[in-house]
A and B are shown apart, each in its own frame.
Chain A
């Protein structure tokens, strides 16, 4: 007896030493190196079949557009909002957290503009933009137009008159401003309704660190508050960064709310079932250990943890609380806690191992998010099992007695006939099949944003503001790549030329590409050749201005500039990158994966099927066409099929394990209620109008893990009526705790989490009822 106690003491010391030191190490590690990311790319395939689609998605998510924020300010009259916009721009321009702020404000002093940042572009004006108006008649028209402007009193171009009497440079800049269909009001960008002033802010970020992004956003908001302390300006900010921050905030607030409500309800549950709050805190130990270990392991393996994994994973580990619950419920006064854990150990171990294997099937899918989830879940499950096995028993007092509950003897008296069980399975199957068949076409989600953890409100805001600033539409694009930028520009020119047919056939309104403002060197040389000689221009100009009151030789700068243009070396990509047009250039032309990429965008496509028909007849053009919406939905499809396949693989692994250690019939009875519950849960979601995504599949995996535990515990041989009631008690408390956690999650703001919560809630409810129906009084008495 004494040696047993000493042995026990030593076991306690050793196990607690290992447990506590590992926990401490993990905590130190997490505090120093936990790296939470939240971009949706983590849940996207590492390599999409179509490399061009992947390239475009990467560019949209990580390229220059990912650094942009759209700021909208409303709630005051337009004049004040415009002033606020101007003040905000000048404040942010001097703030080193931001690279550039655009609000449509133009330097009205054109001559100052031309002498400063636009000087270089002005020099190259005749190479960048076509000008065929050098004939005597056209020059005369231009000059008369300038006189009309002078008479009207509103002449912006007085100071550029001598060098650019045709307003050629202004026309060039105007084609660029037309690309963004912004509304100018009081000199700054407004939405179409003119109720909100809009700004585009480019952040100065070295990496996409969430805290940095958060502080940049706070910075903008506090600056606006400083500028208008009395007014209730409504500030809305969107952009990749702001959505990431909003997602993190939503996950944090959901986790907080969830844990607060769950804590209260769970402690009530424990009080009701065990008359002990102490047990509740003991039951939390495996869970807390599991979360810490799982986070550390995931971060060690992947050097980062996805935000959604944390939210998903922690609730997933809500399963972990089941293990100590089974221990508590099976514990009687006739046993030591060690004896109790040994008696349920084989069942617990089998449950954890099968579930863990199902999760391991998610490894190697090529989706980094899924791999992270697998590592997280498997680590968490195993750690909580180990803590339940070697730590928890030491914390239980020997003479711990739990309350008897009448419902247990009521539940244990159930005994369903074979006919009844058959009827139940048949009607569940009938319901599931009809639900799935009725919604077969819309069963799977085709919209990639369904996968995004971004709160619904943030998504709507993002769409609204993107439309108001006229952000480029990337649904219909042509993508060309070339190692040589000059070749690429020439090929872009050829393709754009071929695409003019789309405008003629009214299949598209406008075609945007880099050559709108930066033609190839070949085309620049052609423009140079088309410029008139000095003598020719002098003669034409002389004739054109003969009857006009302009001073003789006033336009000599113009004549010199045209002559100078004829001898300029063509403008290179490097040179134009150093001008204010760089921002625009990056949307259409960028360097990626050792190649130059040019993007031609179509806007105003009314009829997609007509466009597709036209493309089908153009073998030279069609290969460059990308329909991003279609591409991403096919990508979603591939993705879901892969995940579904892995789920089936996991199920087969579980079935094989059970078959190898149980007779076929028993294995069937263990699996049947779980399989039925999975189908039931899917069918209910489908009937509620949800489109299935990856997260539903992951939820199903969770149901399998939880349901299997119930089935296995029912399957355990029992020794007495009291023992049988204990297992019912354990399963009942487990199911109640899971329903509490996931029921609360079902009300989350984040669509992904609420889908998860609802699916698991229905699934676990189904599992509990169906295992009861199929297994009650079905296992053998030992």
Chain B
């Protein structure tokens, strides 16, 4: 009898172990099937889509293989839905970059340079990733990137890897970190490990 009970308990433990095991792997499986995070990302993007205009301050560090220490800059970022993004670098020198649709205008030392972004997919992908996020355009993000989204209650991480093989030769990944409907950090990593880290604060 006792031995019978014991064996029953053993079986229970085994069952529970299996259940535990199953439960512990479940989130992993869920991430891989991209069902749950997609809906969470959609939720986040819907929140972003409601903000029609935003201005923030930023500081940026550029790390490159030829630099002893990173090059720093700071200034303001401004977004006007659906597709106007402006970056005003104020320090150490004034450089203004304005994107509207396919055209990028760079003004520095009184000279304006106009660049057609279609010709430079490696530059335009970075700008497009930010614009797509801020305008809440899920389809555009899916078109350009493999998406990995993680959300815990306090913060989220969006990891974007370009589909295009030419572009991925220049941009390895774009990582965006945020809290609720606020973008806090952008880390762009190049295949040779050069990277640019933009910290964003003072949202208004």
Contacts and interface: CB of A to CB of B under 8 A. Distances in A.
Interface residues of B, number: 25
Interface core residue of B60, B66, B97, B116 (most chain A CB under 10 Å): B66
A550 B116 contact: no
Interface residues of A, number: 21
Given A158-B64, A554-B66, A152 B106 contact: yes
Nearest to A555: B66
B190 to A, nearest CB: 9
Contact of B71 (A147, A161, A162): A147
A154 B69 CA distance: 20
A150 B62 contact: yes
Contact of A148 (B66, B68, B93, B115): B93
Interface core residue of B71, B120, B123 (most chain A CB under 10 Å): B71
A551 B95 contact: no
A550 B67 contact: yes
A152 B71 CA distance: 11
B103 to A, nearest CB: 11
B66 A162 contact: yes
A187 B116 contact: yes
Interface core residue of A79, A147, A161, A554 (most chain B CB under 10 Å): A147
Given A108-B119, A187-B116, A187-B118, A151 B95 contact: yes
Interface in B43-97: 60, 62, 64, 66-71, 73, 89, 93, 95, 97
B66 A151 contact: no
A551 B194 CA distance: 14
Nearest to A188: B119
B126 interface: yes
Contact of A186 (B69, B104, B116): B116
A637 B60 CA distance: 73
Contacts of B89: 151-152
B97 A152 contact: yes
A220 B187 CA distance: 47
B129 interface: no
Given A152-B108, A154-B106, A549 B67 contact: yes
A150 B64 contact: yes
A186 B120 CA distance: 10
Contacts of B132: none
Contacts of A150: 62, 64, 71
Contacts, number: 56
Contacts of B116: 185-187
Interface of B is mostly: strand
A549 B73 contact: no
A185 B103 CA distance: 11
B135 interface: no
A186 B73 contact: no
A229 interface: no
B3 to A, nearest CB: 73
Interface string A158-198: 10011000000000000000000000011100000000000
A150 B68 CA distance: 14
Contacts of A148: 93, 95, 108
B52 to A, nearest CB: 25
Interface string B116-145: 101110010010000000000000000000
B196 interface: yes
Contacts of B97: 152-154
Interface in A127-158: 147-148, 150-154, 158
A555 to B, nearest CB: 9
Contacts of A549: 67-71
A152 B113 CA distance: 12
A145 to B, nearest CB: 10
A153 B67 contact: no
A550 B73 CA distance: 16
A549 B104 CA distance: 28
A551 B119 contact: no
A573 B81 CA distance: 57
A79 B106 CA distance: 22
A79 B118 contact: yes
Interface string A70-104: 00000000010010000000000000000000000
Interface core residue of B60, B95, B119 (most chain A CB under 10 Å): B119
A170 to B, nearest CB: 14
B60 to A, nearest CB: 8
Contacts of A153: 97, 123, 126, 196
Contact of A108 (B69, B106, B120): B120
B122 to A, nearest CB: 8
Nearest to A105: B119
B43 to A, nearest CB: 30
20 contacts: A108-B119, A148-B95, A150-B62, A151-B62, A152-B97, A152-B106, A152-B108, A153-B123, A153-B196, A154-B104, A154-B115, A162-B66, A186-B116, A549-B67, A549-B68, A549-B69, A550-B66, A551-B66, A551-B67, A551-B68
- Give the 4 A-B residue pairs with the shortest CB-CB distance, closest first: A187-B119, A151-B73, A554-B66, A549-B67
Interface of B: 60, 62, 64, 66-71, 73, 89, 93, 95, 97, 104, 106, 108, 115-116, 118-120, 123, 126, 196
Given A151-B89, A154-B123, A554-B66, 4 more contacts: A152-B97, A152-B106, A185-B116, A186-B116
